[in-house]
Structure 1
Amino acid sequence: MYYFSILWQYTLQYMKTRMTYRVDLFVELMSDLLFQAVNLVFILVVFSHTPLLSGWSREEIMFIYGFFLVPFAIFAAFFNIWDFNERYIVKGEMDRILTRPIHSLFQVILERMELESLFGAITGLAIMFYAGSQLGLTISWYDPLIFLLMVLGGACIYGGVFVSLASISFWSDSRTDIMPMMYNIANYGRYPVDIYHRVIRFVLTWILPFAFVGVYPSAYFLGRQEWYVYAFLTPLVGFIFLSISVWIWNQGVKRYRGAGN
């Protein structure tokens, strides 16, 4: 409850800050919406030349993309640590973090959160609703709970991967371009993995499991029974990857010796 209280206080202060510049917030939301619209247009352009993509219809791809946006929005809101190396290690702000009686990773997450990114989840739900209505999908009473578990699992996968990458900074404070590269790789998870080579499919399933963020959990709601096992593994994979990342982070913190020359 102490951590939830801290989160709530940070959230209130964050909203006060963002609402001070309402026009800036509105422009940012519109730019995110435009970016998502461009990706959706890309899908429509692809299907203007072919009715199916490796056995997947246009509406099914749209549904996967909409599902992908929901856990990605949670990740973007709470795991915005792409500049951890430069801000906290190179500039020495990690020293300030470690003087406070609360877990260091939790503090970094709170300081770097961007709650306006959650707006992407609304867009994702809208796309899912449209695609699902076109496909004639039905919802059972337990589906919202399964949806929530899979969304949280997908967000934890993203968080686990990027926290692990940020933790590398404890061993090497040199700037690296691995974060932007990983963001680009993560985008592969919003398309069916069977359109890729089997090596890429293996990597997206077991090494960098971004397929569990979009296509695998979506397969359950789309009735793709051949992937049900992967779909229900999503929460477990998310828990494992996030746990591993926290362990790596803790080991890095133990190694950290403070800023200096």
Structure 2
Amino acid sequence: MFYVSMFFQYIAQYLKTRMEYRADMIVEILSDLLFQAVNLVFILVVFGHTESLGGWQRDEIIFIYGFFLVPYALFSTFFNIWDFNERYIVNGEMDRILTRPIHSLFQVILERMELESLFGVITGLVVMGYAAARLNLTFHWYDIFIFILFVFGGTLVCGSIFVALASIGFWSDAKTSIMPMMYNIGNYGRYPVNIYNDVIRFILTWILPFAFVGVYPASYFLRKTDWYIYAFLTPVIGLLFFILSVIIWNIGVKRYRGAGS
């Protein structure tokens, strides 16, 4: 209950801060929507030159993209730690974090959250609804619970990868980071992995499992029965990778000796 209380207190303080700069918040929301629209246009342009991609129809790819946007929006909201190395290690703010009686990762996540990114959830649902209508998809009453479970798993997959990457800062205080490159790799998860070669498919499934953010869980709702086993592995992979990332984080924190060391 202590952590739940702290969670809502952080949110309350965040909203107070953002309401002081409403114009900036609106600009950020619009820029996110524009970025998502550009990605959707790219898919439409690709299918302007072909009828299928790796055996997938245009509307199926759009559905996968819409699904991808939902966990990715939650990830962007609560795991906005792309600058962890420079801000918390190089600039020494980790010292402040460690003086408080609350888990350091929990603090960092809530300090860096961006609630406006949640609008991506709405965008994703709209895109999914459009594609589902075009594909004449039917859903069962329990699919909503499966959807929530898959979204939760996909969010943890993304979060775990970036928490593990942020933890590298405890061993290396260089200002350079591989975070931007990893964001680009993450975008591969919004396309069917069978369009890539076997090496990339293996990496996106078991090493950097971004395929569990978009294509694998979405395949369940698209009734791709051959991929069901991967779809239902989504929450398992998400939980396992997140536990592993927290372990790496905790080991890094024990190694940390302060900004002046």
Aligning the two structures, in what range does the TM-score lie when normalised by the shorter sequence? over 0.9
Equivalent residue, structure 2, for 1:257 = 257
Q: How far off its partner does 1:139 sit?
A: 1.2
Give the distance between the partners of 1:210 and 1:183, measured in 2 at CA.
Answer: 10
CA shift digits 1:121-163 (9 cap, x unpaired): 1000000000001101111011000000000100000000000
CA shift digits 1:227-260 (9 cap, x unpaired): 0000000000000000000000000011111111
Q: How far off its partner does 1:23 sit?
A: 1.6
CA shift digits 1:17-48 (9 cap, x unpaired): 11112121111111110110000000000111
Q: How far off its partner does 1:75 sit?
A: 0.4
Matched residue count: 261
Equivalent residue, structure 2, for 1:64 = 64
Larger mean CA deviation between 151-160 and 168-177 belongs to 168-177
Equivalent residue, structure 1, for 2:33 = 33
Equivalent residue, structure 2, for 1:194 = 194
TM-score by structure 2 length?
0.99
CA shift digits 1:44-76 (9 cap, x unpaired): 001111111111001000000000000000000
Give the distance between the partners of 1:13 and 1:255, measured in 2 at CA.
Answer: 31
TM alignment of 1:194-233, pairs within 5 A = 194-233=194-233
Give the distance between the partners of 1:176 and 1:28, measured in 2 at CA.
Answer: 25
- Give me the identity figure in percent: 72
Give the distance between the partners of 2:125 and 2:25, measured in 1 at CA.
Answer: 21
TM alignment of 1:1-261, pairs within 5 A = 1-260=1-260
Matched to 1:174, the amino acid is A
Matched to 1:187, the amino acid is N
Matched to 2:124, the amino acid is G
Q: How far off its partner does 1:6 sit?
A: 0.4
Give the distance between the partners of 2:61 and 2:191, measured in 1 at CA.
Answer: 7
Larger mean CA deviation between 19-28 and 54-63 belongs to 19-28
Unaligned runs of 5+ in 1: none
Give the distance between the partners of 1:24 and 1:178, measured in 2 at CA.
Answer: 27
Computed over aligned residues only, the root mean square deviation of the Cα atoms, in angstroms, reads 0.7
Structure 1 residue ranges (4+ consecutive) displaced by more than 3 angstroms after TM superposition: none
Q: How far off its partner does 1:4 sit?
A: 0.8
Matched to 1:120, the amino acid is G
Matched to 1:260, the amino acid is G
SS across alignment from 1:233 = helix
Give the distance between the partners of 2:228 and 2:162, measured in 1 at CA.
Answer: 26
Unaligned runs of 5+ in 2: none
Q: How far off its partner does 1:177 sit?
A: 3.0
TM-score by structure 1 length?
0.99
Give the distance between the partners of 2:23 and 2:95, measured in 1 at CA.
Answer: 35
